[in-house]
């Protein structure tokens, strides 16, 4: 079964120094390298450009920016493939920064047609 890990940056992540951000990036690259060897990342993932590049489409039209009532911003995603939802949850818990409150992850099953 496939799951999408939506990775939201919290306000704490924007308070990192340049050195802390570089160290965190290294942790993230190491996470991808470790997971790619397990076969749980069939479609990989991607970092998204900043929220200032977003366009929001609604019935009333298109506006610049995400303009959602949240302090967290979607920063990227990864696609996991595991046998169970619990396995996907356990893998998601290991994402660098979850334990430090730098990010929040929303994990959702992918509908298979």
pLDDT band at 113 (very low <50, low <70, confident <90, very high): confident
Question: Whole-model pTM above 0.85?
Answer: no
Which is it for the CA torsion 87, 99, 11, 16, positive or negative?
negative
More confident residue, 42 or 104: 104
pLDDT (tens digit per residue) in 46-97 = 888 888 887 777 777 776 665 555 678 889 999 999 999 999 999 999 999 9
- What token pair was written down for 33? 């390298």
- State the CB neighbour count (10 A cutoff) for residue 83: 9
70: nearest Cα among 104, 45, 47, 98: 104
Architecture of the domain defined by 2-109: 2-Layer Sandwich (3.30)
**Residue burial 1-30, b: 16+ Cβ < 10 Å; e: rest:** eebbbebbbbeebeeeeeeeeeebeeebee
Percentage above 90 pLDDT, the chain: 52
- Going from N- to C-terminal start, the domains of the chain cover 2-109
Residue 24 in this model has a pLDDT that exceeds 90: yes
């Amino acid at each position: 079964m496939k799951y999408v890990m939506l990775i939201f940056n919290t306000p704490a992540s924007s308070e990192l120094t340049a050195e802390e951000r570089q160290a965190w990036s290294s942790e993230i690259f190491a996470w991808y390298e470790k997971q790619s060897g397990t076969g749980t990342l069939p479609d990989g993932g991607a970092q998204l450009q900043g929220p200032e590049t977003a366009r929001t489409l609604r019935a009333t039209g298109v506006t610049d920016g995400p303009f959602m009532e949240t302090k967290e911003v979607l920063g990227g995603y990864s696609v996991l493939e595991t046998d169970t939802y619990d396995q996907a949850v356990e893998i998601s818990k290991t994402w660098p920064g979850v334990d430090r409150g730098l990010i929040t992850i929303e994990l959702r099953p992918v509908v298979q047609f």
